[in-house]
Structure formats: structure tokens, C-alpha cells
Amino acid sequence: MMKTPLTISMMLERAEIFFPKKQVISRMKGGVVRHTYKEIGERTRRLASMLKQLGVGVGDRVGTFAWNHHRHLEAYFAIPGIGAVLHTINIRLSPQHIAYIINHADDRVLLIDDDLLPAIEAVKDEIPNVRAFIIMTDADELPETALAPVYHYEKLLADGDPAFPFLKDLDEYQPAGMCYTSATTGQPKGVVYTHRSTVLHAMALGLADTLGLCERDVAMPIVPMFHVNAWGMPFAATWFGSTTVMPGPAFTPNVLAELIETERVTIVAGVPTIWLGLLQALEKGRYDVSSLTRVICGGSAAPKGVIRAFEEKYGIPFIHAYGMTETSPLVLVSRPKSYQDGLSYEEKLDIRAKQGLLALGLEMKVIGQNGPVRWDGKEMGELCLRGPWIAAEYYNDERTKETFRDGWLHTGDVVTVDEEGFVKIVDRTKDVIKSGGEWISSVDLENALMAHEAVFEAAVVAVPHPKWQERPIACVVLKEGKSVTKEELYDFLRPQFAKWWLPDDIVFLDEIPKTSVGKFLKRKLRDEMAARYADAAAE
């Protein structure tokens, strides 16, 4: 067989040749703008030619700091198209982390949305290696800025070459993209995607048993383009010739509902918070979302109530998936098998609320306290992965050795696997409670407690124990005006769990400490509880 490389530019070239009339639709501040793939192709080539003129060479990193829109899509293809590396920067990081990753990646040029300029201006003195700032704006003139040298994206394109050829003789293993993942402690960690990994991953999104993305689709990636390349959707949608809809800057649930209705969107992808928001918007407004044929949900566990609401109230199939920055991200997709069709809706919902079956092309193993776990839906272990779109290391980072061992990515996610091979995430390795050689899922206990009508929030953490190594302590915040005793909560938990799973104590708190993105700050809670129970442990 021929050894033709899998390159990112071949995806856009296919759209230019076979789907020149199909559109990329972007909601911008001033309204919706439409470009055909022919126009996107020409604009991308113009950008590529100008990046080259600005001195960007093969292997150089170019950062983007932007919302989901057509210009960002052009950068997705122009940067790898000249052999450079597309570094999508998370616009929500702290200034300290933004400066760190721009320097760590050694970004040479930055493409920045005009409304996001202040965040880059705030760190301008800390990023001396950036040679040019390109401002993406709808305005005719550049905004006032302290950055230098600055270029106006559209004016730059006007000077570019619409027929500029993409680099042809590329090694498919060459770096094409970069994304940083935030660590629980310390600086973010960089993952480098190759041309090959990006193309193979995009191809996987088209399989009927994953997302089944295809030409007929009108695809709207809501997940940000700086979060694992919007799960690879912009690449795949362009390649397959799907219509792409970009929700643009600072959208609200109502904006999303409106776009779905007016553009007849068929497939959307986002995290559970987005779907909770959209459900609320659908409740209040009168939107026609009947065009949707599937909602893709990942990033954190999809609550059953959300799945049910989309399906029962709106008749929209809901697909739960799992992945991480290190995995491009597609790893698991939850679709019951054909011979499970006869199960009741509730039974199927149980399966579909799990994270799902391994995508083809990947390998997994689940390692528990005593080696590989049984596929019984009960025994817990850490999910480990291998495959052509799984990272092999962090970029220039000594933390590589903690996560990548013996040829496997150790995900840090604790899972069970049922008899059919469906994987369920039950905890993070750092949060699971290791009690007497067995693991207790903090998430299961929390969910059970939060199902009590008096409980607002619950976080379960491990405290050291001389005999059992670790034991669970539950921290509970009550709803305003509600009361419940410790004993009542134990009575509530007892029928649901084995005796040794029950927390050693239940502590009532005013609030659970949280991270900047609203997740439980378990490290802090663990320290506090460890101090509180230190005497008990010493006995």
C-alpha cells in the first residue's frame, strides 16, 4: 500500500473540492455570518501565507486565544497547514497560568479575539518571546492596545495569497496541535497532538457507533475550541462536509436554543452544565429544537435526570461520552448493544448513564489493588489506555513519569467494568477511599447523601486510619430551613451500602470548600478532616 501521510490540510482540501457550497455559520457580536467552505479555504490559505511571512516556520508554536467562530476554524487549518503547531489557550485560566503556558509552549505568534485582549495585555511583560499579536475583530480598525506589534486579522488576510499551497511533504507524526490540561496542583501540563492522531481521531467521530458525524449533519460544537479542540468536532465536520455552526462569544442558553432552531442544528456537543442551562431555556421559551438528532455530553458525568429530560420531554437522543485532554479526547461512548434493546427504558438508562464502551482502535486495562479487575460492575481499578490518539507523554514535563508508565496512560480515573464491558467512572484515584485493601467510591456516597431531601451538598473524603489505612468521613451541608440528624442520615444510607462503606462520621458544615471552577476542593477538606480525626487515629 502507499505510504501517504495523514495530514490536517487534507481535511480542509476535501471540503474545498467536494463541499465548496456548504457553510460555516458563525454567530458573532453583530449577528450571524456565513462563509462557504470555498471561502473558508481561501481565507485559511491567505492566513497561512501571512503567518509564513511573519516568520512562522515548521514546528513553531502559534497560540490562539479565542471563542468558537470561523476565524478560529481558519487558524485550526492554517497553522498546521504550514507545519506549525496550533496551541489553543484556555481563555479562563488565571493570568499566571496564561503566561506560564505561552512561555512553556514558546508561542511565537498569538491570535486573539478583540474582547479577550485585556487578559493578554495583563501578562504582556511576562511573554517576551511572542513576536506578533494578531487581533481577530469585526471592526474595521484595531482597538487601542498596549500589545506590540499588532496586526488586524482581516487586513492581514487581504494581503494574503488565496491559492497558497499547504505543506505537502509532512511526516504524519509531526506535531500539529497543543493543549494544556490543568493539574490539581502545580502548573498546567501540555499535550501535543500529531497530524496522524488528529486525523485518526476525527475519522473515529464519524463511526455510527460513536458520534456518527456525517455530511448531512449540521454540527454545533459548544464545547470550547480551546478545550481538547472542541473534542475534534471542527476538524471532523469540515472533513466530512457537514455544515458547521459556531456559537461565538459569550453565548447564553437562549442563544444556543435560537441557533439550534434557526440553523436546524442536528448534533451538539458540550458538558453537562450546558445541557442543564439549555433545558431551562427550553422550559421557559418556545423553541423548536426538533432538528436535533443527538446531544453529545462529556467532560463530567451526565446526570440521569438530564438524559431523561432530553429524551422524554423533547424526544432527542442523548449520548454520554468520556475522554480527557490526553486522549484527544474520544475514549468511551455509551450506546447499549443491539441485544439489549429488549431491556426496559430504566435499565437502558442505567447503562447509558455509564461512560460507555471503548472506542475502536484503542486498548484499555483496569488495574485494581490486586491487579486487573473482574468485569462484574463492582470491582474498582484505575483506567489505563493505549492507542493512536492517546498521548505518550506531557510536553517537556517531568510529571510525565507519574502518568505514563509501561506504555500506558494512567488516567487517574477509578472505574468499574460490567459484564458487557461498559465502563463506569466512580472516582478519581486521589479521591477514592482505600479501606482495608478495598476501594470505596466517594462519588457514590456523595450521590446517595445528596439524594436526601434535607441535603444540599455532600463531600466524602478519606482520613488516615491505623487499622484500615483509610476510612470515609462525610461532610454535609443542609438545605436552608431543613434539618436532619446524623442517625437519620445513617438510616438513609444503610440499605444502600455494605456496612464497611458507611462513613465513620458525618460532619455538618456551612459550606464545602470549592476550587475556582466550582469543584469540591477535596484536598483542603481532607487536610481539615485529617487534623480533626488525628487523635482518633492515634488511639
In whole angstroms, the minimum distance from the beta carbon of 323 to ligand AMP comes to 6
Express the helix, strand and coil content of the chain in percent, nearest 5 each: 35, 25, 40
Q: Determine which one of 389, 408, 439, 501 is catalytic.
A: 439
Size of interface with ligand AMP, in residues (CB under 6 A)? 16
Residues of this chain, 3-32, that bind ligand AMP according to CB under 6 A = none
The reply on whether position 181 binds ligand AMP by CB under 6 A is yes
Catalytic member of 124, 155, 430, 434: 434
Q: How far apart are CA 102 and CA 120, in angstroms?
A: 10
Using CB under 6 A, which of 42, 113, 413, 470 touches ligand AMP? 413
- Over the window 197 to 236, marking each residue x when it contacts ligand AMP by CB under 6 A and - when it does not, the resulting string is -------------------------------x--------
Q: Which is nearer to ligand AMP, 259 or 432 (CB)?
A: 432
Smallest distance, ligand AMP to C-beta of residue 325, A: 3
Torsion over CA: 111, 117, 120, 123 (sign): positive
Mode of pairing for the β-strands spanning 357-358 and 330-334? antiparallel
* Residue among 166 and 322 whose Cβ is closer to ligand AMP: 322
Between 23 and 355, name the residue whose CB sits nearer to ligand AMP. 355
Which CB, 83 or 356, lies closer to ligand AMP?
356
Query: Considering only residues 325, 328, 416, 442, which one is a binding residue for ligand AMP as defined by CB under 6 A?
Result: 325
181 is known as an active-site residue: yes
Does residue 103 bind ligand AMP (CB under 6 A)?
no
Of 67 and 226, nearer to ligand AMP (C-beta) is 226
Whether 24 contacts 73, CB under 8 Å: yes
Compute the C-alpha angle 366/394/57, nearest 5°. 140
> Is 439 noted as a catalytic residue in this protein?
yes
258: Cβ–Cβ under 8 A, 6 or more apart, which residues? Answer: 287
Of residues 137, 411, 416, 442, which one binds ligand AMP by CB under 6 A? Answer: 411
- Respond yes or no: is residue 275 known to be catalytic: no
φ and ψ at residue 426, rounded to 5 degrees: -115, -15
* Residue 298: CB minimum distance to ligand AMP, A: 5
Q: What is the DSSP letter of 184?
A: S
For residue 434, indicate whether it is catalytic: yes
d(CA 216, CA 373): 41
Q: Are strands 267-270 and 218-221 parallel, antiparallel or unpaired?
A: parallel
Asked whether the beta carbons of 376 and 386 are under 8 A apart, the reply is no
Is 188 or 248 the residue whose CB approaches ligand AMP more closely? 188
Catalytic residue among 16, 42, 263, 326: 326
Shortest gap between Cβ of 182 and ligand AMP (angstroms)? Answer: 7
Look up cell 435560537; give the residue: 258
Taking the complex as a whole, how short is the minimal distance between the CB of residue 386 and ligand AMP, in angstroms? Answer: 16
Q: What are phi and psi of 311, to 5 degrees?
A: -80, -45
Q: Report which of 300, 308, 299, 301 is spatially closest to residue 279, judged by C-alpha positions.
A: 308
355: contact with ligand AMP by CB under 6 A: yes
Q: Which of 181, 262, 400, 429 is catalytic?
A: 181
- Residue 472 CA to residue 203 CA, distance in Å, equals 43
> 99 by DSSP, 3-state: which?
helix
The radius of gyration computed from the CA coordinates of the chain, to the nearest angstrom, equals 24
Site for ligand AMP in 463-522 (CB under 6 A): none
Distance between CA atoms of residues 516 and 521, nearest Å: 9
| CA distance linking residue 411 with residue 220, whole number of Å | 28
Q: How many CB atoms lie within 10 A of CB 230?
A: 26
CA nearest to 345, candidates 387, 380, 304 = 304
HSE-CB of 302 using CA atoms within 13 angstroms: 30
Is 322 among the residues that bind ligand AMP (CB under 6 A)?
yes
Query: In angstroms, rounded to a whole number, what is the distance separating the alpha carbons of residues 177 and 205?
Result: 18
Q: Does 298 bind ligand AMP (CB under 6 A)?
A: yes
Q: Judged by CB under 6 A, which of 252, 300, 370, 516 binds ligand AMP?
A: 300
Does the protein bind ligand AMP through residue 137 (CB under 6 A)?
A: no
Distance of alpha carbon 241 from alpha carbon 255, whole angstroms: 24
Instruction: Tell me whether residue 44 or residue 182 sits nearer to ligand AMP (CB atom).
Output: 182
When the beta carbons of 383 and 476 are compared against ligand AMP, the nearer one is 383
Give the torsion sign (CA, 535, 536, 537, 539): positive
Considering only the stretches 126-134, 209-217, 243-251, 318-326, report the one whose residues sit in contact with ligand AMP under the rule CB under 6 A: 318-326
Q: How many CA atoms lie within 13 A of 330 on its CB side?
A: 30
Q: Among 59-67, 204-212, 217-225, 299-307, which window interacts with ligand AMP (CB under 6 A)?
A: 299-307
Interface with ligand AMP, residue 324, by CB under 6 A: yes
Looking at 4-12, 85-93, 320-328, 368-376, which segment touches ligand AMP (CB under 6 A)? Answer: 320-328
Q: Which of residues 415-434 bind ligand AMP (CB under 6 A)?
A: 425
The residue within the footprint of ligand AMP, chosen from 299, 336, 368, 472 (CB under 6 A), is 299
Residue owning grid cell 422550559? 283
Task: List interacting residues with ligand AMP (CB under 6 A).
Answer: 181, 228, 298-301, 320, 322-325, 329, 355, 411, 413, 425
Residues belonging to the active site: 181, 326, 434, 439
